[in-house]
Amino acid sequence: MAAQIWGSEKRARRRREISAKIAQMPELHDSKPLPFMTREEKIMESARKLTILTEKMGQIIDPTDPAELYHLNNEVLGLEGNPMALHGVMFIPALSAQASDEQQAKWLPRALRREIIGTYAQTELGHGTNLQNLETTATYDLATQEFVLHTPQITALKWWPGNLGKSSNYAVVVAHMIIKAKNYGPHPFMVQLRDEKTHEPLPGITIGDIGPKMAYNIVDNGFLGFNKYRIPRTNLLMRHTKVEADGTYIKPPHAKINYSAMVHVRAYMLTGQAIMLASALNIATRYSSVRRQGQIDKSQPEVKVLEYQTQQHRLFPSIARAYAFQFAGAETVKLYEHVLKEMKSGNVSLMADLHALTSGLKSVVTYQTGEGIEQARMACGGHGYSMASYISEIYGVAIGGCTYEGENMVMLLQLARYLVKSAALVKSGQSSKLGPLVAYLGVKSEPTSLIDRIPNSGFTEYVKTFQHVSKRQTLKAADMFFGLMEKGEKREIAWNKCSVELNRASRLHTRLFIVEAFVRRVNEIADIRIKEALTDLLHLHVNYELLDIASYALEDGFLSASQLDYIRDQVYLYLGKIRPNAVSLLDSWEFSDIELRSVLGRRDGNVYENLFKWAKSSPLNKTDVLSSVTQYLKPMMEKARL
């Protein structure tokens, strides 16, 4: 199963080897539990491990393999981030995709050797989503052949970029490029921020940390201001766009090609989210198979809480989602790598499809991951609320994904643009022009769903039902939009008035893609036992998801009430079937105790001993009487007794 999850036997084996090596290297372990550290201590601890990794990485992993790097990162540095998180996730990808060959030769080897630390500075205090209204300017000075970076007012301060505050000395900065008083829109520039020897900010740069966040606090998200700060013309990233010495602007082959670093993260973060969801579920499911509370049959002893149907219903559909996200994520990364290769050689024809797909997936996956992690936390009762479970930290990090790389509502609306264009093709009889991901919009569906009507139809009728509801909602939302415009509404106003319906269409389309990716994967599996276990999980997935969106299929009578009863019964049937495999389905992800960082979810299952040991090690327990008591509470009580 691990091979299915991680993509191959070899990958699963390598993960085990890497975990085993790390287990033997105490210098790479947390020196004490992270929840007992201050933010400063955590940052220090992370930097300590990071430097050891820079020295020893080659002994543990193949540093050119992103999957091995990611695993090493999760084990050693953990999901709370590290001082170079953005260096790998965005700075290097931005240089790789947007710098010219000559620029790459100058900067990439230095970045890869970690001679310099970089980040991606785009968002500002006043604008994140609406890139067209960023305020930082890069004005070309023809006389010196330099760009002058400037922050005209407080809202133009860069705000949020990870590791910008204290760790990075370089950044890819996105600023509006102005040449001879003409604004060419946001463009990426390579900018040195700090002196390479002293790490002091360079003159003209104001920089710092934005303060503690809901989670992800090892990362020093930062602010940055420029006071007429000059950089050479050749620091504009020039793979696709060029500015010649005389100020001539050469436009890129696609207007949004400079957004590629964002698409990179959107494509890769899906598996990151799947891992966080599976981690939280692993903790909760292990704990639920140890925790005994109450009886189902009063004549019998207390049961493991995992025997309760409500507990299974809380956890198992999310187990199915974690697998589904992992499989959909693997497909998306493949597509991304293909499009990136094409893009580098000038073929931009697939960019729109990739953008639409990743925008939808990013939104649905992060939202459902957050839901699943929070349910996992509640499924642990009181102990879920303790940092000993570590689930609240996992939640805090994962839920950030709903916001970063494009706020979810906004990204769903990006997919909706693509769906509305596709709907227009269908309506004008040009269905043959539809891309493969939306081809179903042009296919006539049966008048009613055939779920429960055709024996041994596998998952086909489920997929057709998802296609039907997605198509119907897309066409309905598009009709509403076109209708408003026909009535004379301005395009943008009409769009806003339909945006809730449009986003519903985007979610349904994305959920269909996720279901199809799961079906495709199960169909490919040769090993009969693995296929059987995943088929059970897929049954739960399609029935649970369909029940969740049933109102869309009921409103036009595509599904009947009796079919809905059947679907509901199937959910209950598969909850029971999955119960014996539940812990194994999560243990198959092979997270080590070091990586999970959860006292509650340790592999040994000694929950109570571990919790008591952990509580005793709390810094508050170093002394029996705290100074808060001697200084305030004791005098208060004494005064009251007089």
Ligand X SMILES: CCCCCCCC/C=C\CCCCCCCCCC(=O)SCCNC(=O)CCNC(=O)[C@H](O)C(C)(C)COP(=O)(O)OP(=O)(O)OC[C@H]1O[C@@H](n2cnc3c(N)ncnc32)[C@H](O)[C@@H]1OP(=O)(O)O
Ligand Y SMILES: Cc1cc2nc3c(=O)[nH]c(=O)nc-3n(C[C@H](O)[C@H](O)[C@H](O)COP(=O)(O)OP(=O)(O)OC[C@H]3O[C@@H](n4cnc5c(N)ncnc54)[C@H](O)[C@@H]3O)c2cc1C
| Annotated binding-site positions | 123, 162
Name the binder of 280 from ligand X, ligand Y, none, CB < 5-8 A by kind.
none
CA distance 432 to 435: 8
Exposed/middle/buried for residue 448 (C-beta within 10 Å: 0-12, 13-18, 19+): middle
Name the binder of 409 from ligand Y, ligand X, none, CB < 5-8 A by kind.
ligand Y
The reply to whether 223 sits near ligand Y by the rule CB under 6 A is: no
Q: Which of 161, 384, 396, 601 binds ligand Y (CB under 6 A)?
A: 161
Name the binder of 314 from ligand X, ligand Y, none, CB < 5-8 A by kind.
none
The SS3 of residue 8 is coil
Q: Which residues contact 156 (CB under 8 A, 6 or more apart)?
A: 124, 125, 126, 134, 135, 136, 225
Name the binder of 271 from ligand X, ligand Y, none, CB < 5-8 A by kind.
ligand X
Could you tell me which of 532, 617, 435, 587 has the C-alpha nearest to residue 5? 587
The reply to whether 258 sits near ligand Y by the rule CB under 6 A is: no
| Cβ–Cβ < 8 Å for 501, 306 | no
Q: Which of 91, 107, 147, 160 binds ligand Y (CB under 6 A)?
A: 160
Nearest-approach distance from CB 191 to ligand X, in angstroms: 16
The reply to whether 272 sits near ligand X by the rule CB under 6 A is: yes
Backbone angles phi, psi at 321, to 5 degrees: -65, -40
Binding segment toward ligand X, per CB under 6 A, in 44-52, 116-124, 423-431, 479-487: 116-124
Q: What residue type is assigned to position 51 of the chain?
A: T
The reply to whether 93 sits near ligand Y by the rule CB under 6 A is: no
Helix (H) or strand (E) holding 188: strand 182-192
Q: With CB under 6 A as the rule, give the number of residues binding ligand Y.
A: 21
Backbone angles phi, psi at 280, to 5 degrees: -65, -40
The reply to whether 84 sits near ligand X by the rule CB under 6 A is: no
Catalytic residue at 393?
A: no
Backbone angles phi, psi at 528, to 5 degrees: -65, -35
Residues β-bridged to residue 146: 141, 232
Cα dihedral 298→299→304→309 (10° resolution) = -50
CA distance 127 to 115: 31
Binding segment toward ligand X, per CB under 6 A, in 266-274, 306-314, 377-385, 487-495: 266-274
Name the binder of 70 from ligand Y, ligand X, none, CB < 5-8 A by kind.
ligand X
Q: Which of 6, 229, 404, 466 binds ligand Y (CB under 6 A)?
A: 404
Catalytic position from the list 146, 331, 405, 516: 405
| Cβ–Cβ < 8 Å for 525, 323 | no
Nearest-approach distance from CB 488 to ligand Y, in angstroms: 22
Could you tell me which of 244, 167, 169 has the C-alpha nearest to residue 209? 167
For the segment 407-426, give every residue that binds ligand Y (CB under 6 A): 407, 409-410, 413
- Sign of CA pseudo-dihedral 268, 269, 275, 278: negative
Give the nearer residue to ligand X in terms of CB position, either 71 or 471.
71
For 95-179, list the strands marked E by DSSP: 118-121, 137-141, 146-150, 158-159, 170-179
Nearest-approach distance from CB 257 to ligand Y, in angstroms: 18
The reply to whether 184 sits near ligand X by the rule CB under 6 A is: no
The reply to whether 123 sits near ligand X by the rule CB under 6 A is: yes
Could you tell me which of 364, 294, 407, 290 has the C-alpha nearest to residue 517? 364
The reply to whether 210 sits near ligand Y by the rule CB under 6 A is: no
DSSP letter at 184 equals E
The reply to whether 325 sits near ligand Y by the rule CB under 6 A is: no
Q: Which residues contact 219 (CB under 8 A, 6 or more apart)?
A: 80, 81, 82, 83, 85, 86, 162, 163
The closest residue (CB) to ligand Y is 128
Q: Which of 22, 131, 340, 575 binds ligand X (CB under 6 A)?
A: 131
The reply to whether 403 sits near ligand Y by the rule CB under 6 A is: yes
Name the binder of 89 from ligand X, ligand Y, none, CB < 5-8 A by kind.
ligand X
Q: Which residues make up each annotated binding site for FAD?
A: 123, 162
Q: What residue type is assigned to position 233 of the chain?
A: R
Binding segment toward ligand Y, per CB under 6 A, in 53-61, 63-71, 124-132, 601-609: 124-132
Give the nearer residue to ligand Y in terms of CB position, either 123 or 326.
123
The reply to whether 589 sits near ligand X by the rule CB under 6 A is: no
CA distance 228 to 249: 22
- Sign of CA pseudo-dihedral 156, 162, 165, 168: negative
Q: Which of 190, 351, 394, 515 binds ligand X (CB under 6 A)?
A: 351
Give the nearer residue to ligand Y in terms of CB position, either 398 or 575.
398
The SS3 of residue 249 is strand
- Neighbour tally for 339: CB within 10 Å: 22
First to last CA, the chain: 69
The reply to whether 406 sits near ligand X by the rule CB under 6 A is: yes
Nearest-approach distance from CB 410 to ligand Y, in angstroms: 5
Residues that bind ligand X (CB under 6 A): 66-67, 70, 89-90, 120, 122-123, 128-132, 162, 256, 259, 262-263, 265, 268-269, 271-272, 351-352, 355, 404-406, 410, 414, 417
Residues within the interface to ligand Y (CB under 6 A): 86, 120-123, 127-129, 160-162, 216, 221, 400, 403-404, 406-407, 409-410, 413
Q: Which residues are catalytic, by number?
A: 405
